[in-house]
Structure 1
């Protein structure tokens, strides 16, 4: 029915678990979503702000984007962190895999924790359709804002909750966890 550089939309007939035929619209993504939880040594996180067209609003969120299906998702995450924040990470950990809106799409997300942050060699360079702002916030403030609905992006909410869980469960260095939980 429709195809762009990011998605294709099909209308097809599917066999329901009951054995009945049913019409089914499906959105297929040409990228895997990647989200980065960049945690600084002091327990703060870097958030990026940008206008999001679908809801017509401004959104503060973690660095995120898409990695083409043929690309290593970690390379896509590294690129998104550098493009959106001007940061590089010494340590990367895959910490989450999710399905997004799995009733009508095949979109997946892979989330990465980025530690040992430092500025990249050059200034950050968002793509030519993005006007990105950046802020560094204490982890708990970002988490509390997400839980209050002020950071509604689901990748951001999920990754902040994952970071909180890791800090609480001893999956992060003790000093870093203490700084995050403050």
Structure 2
């Protein structure tokens, strides 16, 4: 059965005016005066990041995954995640993901595969994320940003999936990417040398 995309319906919103209400080096908050799909006047605020988001699942030879832990200010709580960060628009997402992987963990990867493109919290923001799986890793020195206090740990892939299912990992990019990787492994849809690592 074909998947209904709804794309043929077009945009049911009418934008009357758009005003920047707040901006800094990382984002802009735009308030749109609109007519809703039912023709009712209203406002719609959109958070517009100035960069794209990237994430990478690094798979070691023994099948373990490097996770990064840090305190997330907006949530006021600690979070275990895959290595993630922002990248400049116009730069290839894999290049930005590789930079974040190196900065946060010291790892570089010889093999890469795209996992997915995500829209994060799409009722509030137009932020786009691109995630990857990386393997054939080499360890070097990390160089976190001055705003980052990071913990790094290696966890067997099966235990990482258990963490997702138990709610110990809640970051959207991490959850979606890890579960997609698990499905691809179950469907034998991964390159042989990566699949072998996940069977260890």
**TM-score bin (small chain):** over 0.9
8 Å CA contact retained: 2:70, 2:149:
yes
Partner residue, 1:91: 111
The offset of 1:103, in angstroms, is 1.1
Larger Rg: 2
**Aligned-partner Cα distance in 2 for 1:17–1:35:** 34
Partner residue, 2:171: 153
**Aligned-partner Cα distance in 2 for 1:75–1:103:** 28
1:29 and 2:29 aligned: no
Residue deviations 1:110-161 (CA, integer Å, cap 9, x gap): 01110111113xx110011111111000011011111111111111101110
Give 1:115-130 correspondences, 5 Å limit.
115-120=135-140, 123-130=141-148
After superposing on structure 2, the runs of 4+ consecutive aligned residues of structure 1 that deviate more than 2 Å are 14-22, 173-182
1:48 and 2:68 aligned: yes
**Aligned-partner Cα distance in 1 for 2:87–2:31:** 25
Secondary structure of 1:94's partner?
A: strand
Alignment partner for residue 136 of structure 1, among 154, 178, 181? Answer: 154
Which has the larger displacement, 171-180 or 50-59?
171-180
Secondary structure of 1:125's partner?
A: coil
Give TM-score, length-normalised by structure 2: 0.84
Unpaired stretches in structure 2, ≥5 consecutive residues: 1-20
Q: Which has the higher contact order (CA 8 A, sep 6+)?
A: 1
